[in-house]
Structure 1
C-alpha cells in the first residue's frame, strides 16, 4: 500500500466520515454508465462505471458500501480513505474498497482530480465477503478510462448490444488484471483461504508461515509486496471485514460476532473495528 497522508507535510481538511455524503460541486464533470442502461454491465454484475474530472468540494462518504468499489487515479490528486487511514491518491494508483466497509474520498482544494471507477453490485464475486482486502496499489488506468469512455460513447449513439458487450469485456479484462493479487503469488492463496475458513482460530505467524511453506520473515515480505500490509494486519482486516458483513446482514449479538472472528475480548474487537471502519460495531449496525 502507498504511503499514508502526512498531516504535517500537507495539512488537508478531511470530511466528516460519520454520515453518508455525496457532494459533486459545480466544477465536477462525470461520465457514467449504469447497469440499468446497459445489459452487458448487468451481466457482469457491475452496478456502474464512470470517468470523473473532479474539483473541490467534491466529496463522497459511504458508511456501508454494499458492493465493492475500484477507483483509478488518472491525473491530479485526491484523498482516499482505506483501512481507516487517509492516503494521497495520485496518478498510476488504483484503490479497492471491499463491500461493507467505511469508504470515502474527496478532491483536494486547488487541484483537479481525474479518475475512473467501477462499482460492483452486491451480488458480484468481487463483493463477496473476504474476497479481497482494502488496497492502494500501482496501476496505469488509462486504457480502462478509454474503455469506459468507449462504452459511454456507444451508449449515447447506436447503443448496439454487441458493441457494448465488447467494451464491457475490455473493462472486465483490466479489472481481472487489477484484482487478482493473490493469484500472482500462489504461496499466499492457501494461507488466506485457510484463514477465511476459520477466522475464530488463534492464528500465529508460525501457523501462517507453515501454510505458505516459507519462513516467517519471508511471509512478511510476501504480504508486504503483494498486499501492502503485514500478515497480522491482513488477518485483522479479514476478521473485521467479515464482522462488518455479519453486522450488516444478520441480527447476531455483537459479542457473538466478535468471538466468531477470533476476538475473545469484546473491547479489543470494538477498538480494532473502529480503527478500520471508523465506527464502533453498535454504531455501524445502526447505519
Structure 2
C-alpha cells in the first residue's frame, strides 16, 4: 500500500498530541523535582522550629533551676538564722535568770551576815541591798544588750538573704524575658522565611503551569505553519522514491525488451506525466 501523507488536520492533531505529551512529561518531571525540593525544605523548617523550641525549653529549665536554687539558698540561710536564734535565746534568758538568782543569794547572805553580827538593818543593809540590785540590773542589762546585738545581726543577715534572693530572682526574670524575646524573634523570623518560601513555591508552580500552557499553545500555532514544509518534504521523498523505483524498472525493462513499450520511450516520461498531472 502506497504511503499517503497526513492531511492538514491529521498533521496538526499529531503535532499537538506530540507537544502535549512532550511538554507534559517535562512539566511532570519539573513539578516532581520542585515538590521534592519543597518537601526537603519543609523538613528543614520543621527541624529549625524544633531546635528553636528545644533551646527555649532548655533555657527555661535552666532558669527554673536557678530560681529554685535561689529560693533554696534563702531557705537554708533563713533556717540557719532561726536555728541560731532558737539555740541562743534560751541562753540569754538563762543569763538573766542567773543574775536574778545571784542577786537573791547575795541578798540572803547579806541578811544572814548582818544577823550573825547582831547588826540592825539600817543604812548599811539598805546600801548593800541596793548594790546587789544594781549589780543584778547591770548583769541583766548586759545580757539584754548582747541579745539585742545578736538579734540585730540575725535580722541583718536575714535582710541580706532576702536582698540576695530578690537580686537573683530579678536577674533570672530579666534573663527569662530575654529568652522569651529571643525565642519569639527566632520563631517569627523562621515563620517569615517559611511564608516567603511557600510563596516562592506557589509562584514556581504557577510558572510551570503557565510555561506548559504557553508551550502547548505555541505548538498549536506552529503546527499549521509547519504543515506546508512537512507536505513538501513528503512529496519530495515520494518523488525520489518513485524515481528510484522507476529507474530500477527501467534498467530491468532495457534488459527484457522494455516491457513491450516503444523503443524510444524514456523511463522519466512516466514520472514527468505523473508529476504534471497531480502536483502542478
TM interval, shorter chain, is under 0.3
Larger fraction in helix:
2
**Greater RCO (Cα-Cα under 8 Å, separation 6 or more):** 2
Q: TM-score, normalised by structure 2?
A: 0.16
